[in-house]
Amino acid sequence: MVPPSPTRPVALTVAGSDSGGGAGIQADLKTFHAFGVFGTSAVTAVTVQDTRGVHGVHAVPVDVVVAQIDVVVRDLAPTAVKSGMLATRPLVDGVAQALERHGLPYVLDPVMVATSGDPLLDEDAVDAVRRRLLPLATVVTPNTDEARILTGLELRNEHDLRDAARALVDAGASAALVKGGHLEGAETVDVLWDGTSEWIWRHPRLDTRHTHGTGCTLSAAICAGLARGHHLHRAVGDGVEFVARALRTAPGLGGGHGPLNHFADVPDGSESD
C-alpha cells in the first residue's frame, strides 16, 4: 500500500503568463514548488516574451479569469492567493469581485511595468487597484515606482520607503512591503509595516542584469508562507532571503534581463510547518 501523503498546502496565483519562464505565472509556480506548496493558477493574460522584452500581450476574457479562480478555490481550497499582472481595468474589477467573495489571505503585487520597461497594466486601471484591491490585501508589495504611483510620494531613500509603507496601510492595505531595490546605494533595503510594527531587511546590492521576475518570485514566496499559515513577517523574511539566493545564483540565460535561479535553497524550515 502507498503510505498516505502528508497534507500539502495549496496556493493560487492570479497572474500573466511569461513565455520566457522567468516571471509571471511561471515564476510563481516554480516558487510555490520550491517552498513545498502545491501551485494553482488563474491566467489573466498571455504575454509573448523573452529576456529581451514583451513582444505582445493578449488579455484573457474577464469571465474566464473569474471562472478559473472560482473553480480552483471551490475544489482545491487554496489557503492563500497572490495577484500579479492584471493588464486591464475590467480584469482588476473582476478579480477584486472574486477575491472579495473568497476572503483568502492575499498578496497584492501591484505589477505595472516589466523589467524591460514594457507596460503590463493599463493606466486607467491604477485607480481600481488602489480602490478595490488595496483594501483586500494582507500585504501589498510595490517597488519604488509602483509605490510612487499608488501613493503620490517621491521615494529617494530609506525614510521615504518607510513613509510610503505607512501611506499604503493608511490607504487600506493590512500591511505593506516597500522594496528599495531600485534605489541607489551599496545595500538594498526592504521595509515592512503592518500598522503596528516595522521590519527592515538589508542585503548587499548585486551588480547583475539578471533580475527578471524578482518581484513575482518574492510575492509568490510570501504567498507560499501565508498558505503554510506562517506569520507575515516570517513569510516575508523567508521570501526576501530566497530571492537574494536566487539572484546570486541566476543561471545567466538569454540575451537580455535573465531569470533568477528558482532551484535555489529555501531558508531552513520555510518549507515545513
Q: Which is nearer to ligand PXL, 36 or 53 (CB)?
A: 53
Q: Which of 213, 225, 237, 258 is catalytic?
A: 213
Chain position whose Cβ is nearest to ligand PXL:
24
Q: Which is nearer to ligand PXL, 115 or 194 (CB)?
A: 115
216 noted as active-site residue: yes
Q: Which is nearer to ligand PXL, 83 or 151 (CB)?
A: 83
Q: Which of 51, 211, 239, 258 is catalytic?
A: 211
Q: Which of 216, 217, 223, 237 is catalytic?
A: 216
- Give me the least distance between CB of 131 and ligand PXL, in Å please: 21
- Give me the least distance between CB of 194 and ligand PXL, in Å please: 24
215 noted as active-site residue: yes
- Give me the least distance between CB of 6 and ligand PXL, in Å please: 31
Which residues contribute to the site for ligand PXL (CB under 6 A)? 15-16, 18, 23-24, 47, 49, 84-85, 111, 114-115, 120, 213, 215-216
CA 104, 176, 155 angle in degrees (round to 5)? Answer: 150
213 noted as active-site residue: yes
179 noted as active-site residue: yes
- Give me the least distance between CB of 198 and ligand PXL, in Å please: 25
Q: Which is nearer to ligand PXL, 150 or 228 (CB)?
A: 150
211 noted as active-site residue: yes
Q: Which of 21, 24, 94, 215 is catalytic?
A: 215
254 noted as active-site residue: no
Q: Which is nearer to ligand PXL, 85 or 247 (CB)?
A: 85
Residue by residue, what is the 3-state secondary structure of the chain? CCCCCCCCCEEEEEEEEECCCCCHHHHHHHHHHHCCCEEEEEEEEEEEEECCEEEEEEECCHHHHHHHHHHHHHHHCCCEEEECCCECHHHHHHHHHHHHHHCCCEEECCCCECCCCCECECHHHHHHHHHHHHHHCCEECCEHHHHHHHHCCCCCCHHHHHHHHHHHHHCCCCCEEEECCCCCCCEEEEEEECCCCEEEEEEECCCCCCCECHHHHHHHHHHHHHHCCCCHHHHHHHHHHHHHHHHHCCCCCCCCCCECCCCCCCCCCCCCC
- Give me the least distance between CB of 213 and ligand PXL, in Å please: 6
Residues with active-site annotation: 179, 211, 213-216
